Amino acid sequence: MSDVLIRPALETDIEAMLAIEQSATSHPWSKATFTGCFGERYFNFVLQQGDEILGFYIGNFVAGEASLFDICVAPKAQGQGFGRLLLEHFIAESEAKQAFDCWLEVRESNHSAIELYQSAGFHQNGKRVNYYPTATGHEDAILMGLPLRFG
Active site residues: 105, 117
User: For residues 3 and 8, what is the distance between their CA atoms, to the nearest angstrom?
Assistant: 16
Write out the H or E segment, with its range, that includes residue 144: strand 137-147
- Report whether 132 contacts 138 (CB < 8 A): yes
CB < 8 Å & 24+ apart, contacts of 67-71: 67/102, 67/103, 67/104, 68/102, 68/103, 68/104, 69/37, 70/21, 70/29, 70/37
Helix (H, G, I), strand (E, B) or coil at 52: strand
